[in-house]
Each structure stands twice: as structure tokens, then as C-alpha cells.
């Protein structure tokens, strides 16, 4: 499927309006003197939909259940992580403009702004994927995208033991910590598995307990029947409506949490969290 063919169909649809349905795409191809079979028409439809409302060339990577991170450094430099470290993929963009269009469309999907006046964005896509994008001239050369794919299902503790993430003795200790309702903190470097481990442990909490999560970006996916999720919000274009992590911690304390969880502690919210843990809120 040539870029020229896609451009011809895209131009026809732009001139006449409408979604890229198979019928409209077939009509656009006939208008351009192209006659293709059903499989080719559906291929054009899928490519256009991916470009207009999906993740464009990154769609196959996002659909791969083993991919955890996608990093776009340039049109011809797309890196992925399948749990074995970074490796270069065969995915290519047409040019830097295509990378910029995708970054801006994904930011819009997340309800954020990305342009020359605000050249970076940190947001969560509707499917939970974490998006970070930076535009030139803040980044030299091409726009850069970073996508952190959130696993749909949390790992179980036996799965982590089987994967050699931790040993059986450590797993037993962590169960005892949860059963004793002790407060604990998980720390580590980027990509070391903090979110994975915490999601797993929260799945072991008593099903009758109420878990309230406060996060900058909703990444935790505990397998638990009673979870309330709170997420921060940046200020709008007028500078209003900013909701901080400290705001969320304060609100969470009024929501009768049996377990209060702050996804990432790195600011003044630590004061409210420590005050809560020291005044009767166990198992944070």
C-alpha cells in the first residue's frame, strides 16, 4: 500500500467529508481510477482509521501484549521494550511532521494541549497508556514520544515468584506485612517493577477492605473488588482547576479508606500521608 494511494484517498475524504468507511474508501479509489479488491480496500480503511483516530504506525506495537514501552526518537528511530531491555523496531514514520501530528492527536485524545506555546505533555490515554511527548525546539530535531503501556491484568504473587522477580521467602514476608496491616513503601529505579509489585500486593488485600488510590497518573491496576481511584489534574489554559496530589490525599482521608495508597510520593503530600499513618490509618 503506497503512501501516494493513502494520500489520494485522504484528499478525497477531506474534500467530501465523512468517516473512512469501506464504501467511502472504495468510492474514493474509483474516483482516482483505482480498482482494488475487498482485502486491499479494507487495508486502506484500517490504515486511515489508525492514522485518524488510532496510534498510526505504533498500533501494532501497542497491540503486542509483550511490549511495555514505546519510545520514538525520530521518524526512523522507534524503540520498544519487551521486558528484555530496549530494542529497535522496524516501525517507521514518513517524516518528522507525521510524528508531530501523532503526538498532537494523542495529546488531544487525552484532553491536553500540545503546540509551540506548550511544547510538552504528560497525560494518560483513555486505555490507560501513559503518554509523554516533547516538541522542538525543546527537543533537538524530531518530536519525541514515550508511551508506557499499562498491563490490563495485575500479576499474581505466584507469577512474580515464577518469573524470579522475588523468591518464595520474600513473597511470604510480603503476605505477612499485608495481613498485619503494616504500612510500607516501595521504592526503586524507573522500570524496576514498583507499579507491578504494588498492584500485585493490593490484589491480596482483604476483599472486604476499601482501597483508595491517589495517583498523578492512574497506573495501578489491582485485582480487587473495592477500589476508588483518584487522579491529579493539571491547570487549564486559564491557569485554573489544578488538582494536586496533596489535594487528593486530603480528600481520600474523608472517604473512609481501609487502605490509603499514594502512587508516587515526591512533594508536600508526604506531610498529609505521614500525619494520616500516625493517627490511626493502618496499612497505608
User: pLDDT digits over 253-270, tens only?
Assistant: 999 999 999 988 888 888
User: Taking the domains of the chain in order of start, what are their residue ranges?
Assistant: 3-53, 57-148, 157-278
183-190 average pLDDT score: 88
157-165 average pLDDT score: 88
Q: What is the pLDDT of residue 198?
A: 92
**What CATH fold (topology level) applies to the domain 157-278?**
Rossmann fold (3.40.50)
| pLDDT higher at 165 or 34 | 165
pLDDT at 228 over 90: yes
Among 21-25, 164-168, 242-246, 256-260, the range scoring the smallest mean pLDDT is 21-25
Q: What is the pLDDT of residue 40?
A: 62
Percent of the chain residues topping a pLDDT of 70: 81
37-65 average pLDDT score: 68
* Cell numbers given for 281: 490509618
Among 74-83, 150-159, 198-207, the range scoring the smallest mean pLDDT is 150-159
pLDDT at 28 over 90: no
Burial of 200 (0-12, 13-18, 19+ CB in 10 A): buried
Burial of 26 (0-12, 13-18, 19+ CB in 10 A): buried
pLDDT at 171 over 80: yes
- Compute the mean pLDDT over every residue in the chain, rounded to the nearest whole number: 83
| pLDDT higher at 71 or 83 | 71
Percent of the chain residues topping a pLDDT of 90: 38
| pLDDT higher at 247 or 43 | 247
The CATH code of domain 57-148 reads 3.30.450.370
Q: What is the pLDDT of residue 111?
A: 80
**Confidence band, pLDDT 50/70/90 cuts, at residue 190:** confident
Amino acid at each position: 500500500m503506497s503512501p501516494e494511494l493513502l494520500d489520494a484517498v485522504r484528499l478525497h475524504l477531506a474534500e467530501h467529508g465523512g468517516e473512512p468507511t469501506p464504501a467511502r474508501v472504495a468510492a474514493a479509489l474509483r474516483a482516482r481510477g483505482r480498482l482494488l479488491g475487498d482485502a486491499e480496500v479494507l487495508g486502506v480503511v484500517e490504515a486511515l482509521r489508525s492514522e485518524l483516530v488510532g496510534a498510526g504506525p505504533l498500533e501494532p506495537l501497542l497491540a503486542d501484549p509483550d511490549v511495555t514501552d514505546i519510545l520514538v526518537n525520530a521518524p526512523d528511530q522507534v524503540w520498544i521494550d519487551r521486558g528484555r531491555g530496549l530494542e529497535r523496531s522496524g516501525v517507521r514514520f514518513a517524516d518528522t511532521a507525521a510524528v508531530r501530528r501523532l503526538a498532537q492527536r494523542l495529546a488531544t485524545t487525552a484532553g491536553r494541549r500540545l503546540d509551540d506555546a506548550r511544547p510538552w505533555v504528560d497525560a494518560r490515554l483513555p486505555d490507560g497508556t501513559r503518554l509523554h511527548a516533547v516538541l522542538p525546539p525543546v527537543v533537538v530535531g524530531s518530536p519525541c514520544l514515550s508511551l508506557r503501556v499499562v498491563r490490563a491484568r495485575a500479576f499474581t504473587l505466584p507469577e512474580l515468584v515464577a518469573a524470579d522477580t522475588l523468591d518464595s521467602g520474600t513473597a511470604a514476608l510480603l503476605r505477612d506485612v499485608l495481613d498485619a496491616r503494616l504500612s510500607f513503601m516501595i521504592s526503586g529505579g524507573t522500570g524496576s517493577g514498583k507499579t507491578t509489585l504494588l498492584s500485585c500486593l493490593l490484589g491480596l488485600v482483604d476483599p472486604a477492605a476499601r482501597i483508595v488510590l491517589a495517583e498523578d497518573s492512574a497506573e495501578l491496576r489491582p485485582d480487587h473488588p473495592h477500589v476508588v481511584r483518584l487522579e491529579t489534574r493539571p491547570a487549564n489554559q486559564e491557569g485554573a482547576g489544578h488538582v494536586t496530589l496533596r489535594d487528593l490525599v486530603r480528600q481520600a482521608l474523608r472517604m473512609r479508606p481501609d487502605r490509603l495508597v499514594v502512587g508516587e510520593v515526591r512533594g508536600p503530600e508526604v506531610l498529609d500521608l505521614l500525619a494520616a499513618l500516625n493517627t490511626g490509618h493502618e496499612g497505608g
